[in-house]
Amino acid sequence: MSFIGPTEAALYLTAGMVLGAVYFALLLRTVRLHASQAAAIRFMPLYFLRFAAGISGFWLIAQQGAGPLLLALLGFLIARMAFQRRIGSE
């Protein structure tokens, strides 16, 4: 078991927040396209892009170990809370 320094911890936390921001921005765009009754050809690529970004991002981070993965997940959840606050204020 290796120790994660504060710089490396901040890097994984930030990576999780960026991954979460991308994921939830794509989710917001997809929901708005659904609400506007857009054709499936417009929002289906967003489904696949969101899925691919989330899976590949977390898979790459998981290759570094459990600690980085948990920090990235924490960053992802922070991004989720930020998006919920943003959407709730609209």
Q: Tokens 């936390």 label which residue?
A: 13
The verdict on residue 1 lying in a domain is no
Structure tokens at 89: 């204020």
Residue 42 lies in a domain: yes
Model confidence, pTM: 0.88
Quick check: is 22 in a domain? Answer: yes
57, containing H or E segment: helix 40-62
Q: Which domain holds residue 69?
A: 6-85
Q: pLDDT tens per residue, the chain (90 residues)?
A: 567 889 999 999 999 999 999 999 999 999 999 888 888 888 899 999 999 999 999 999 999 999 999 999 999 999 999 999 988 876
Q: Is there a contact between 11 and 68 (Cβ–Cβ < 8 Å)?
A: no
Number of compact structural domains in the chain? 1
* Residue 90 belongs to some domain of the structure: no
Q: Which residue has the tokens 């765009």?
A: 29
**pLDDT value of position 2:** 66
Render pLDDT for 69-90 as a digit per residue (tens, 0 to 9). Answer: 999 999 999 999 999 998 887 6
27 inside domain: yes
Closest by alpha carbon to 73, among 87, 2, 7, 81? Answer: 81
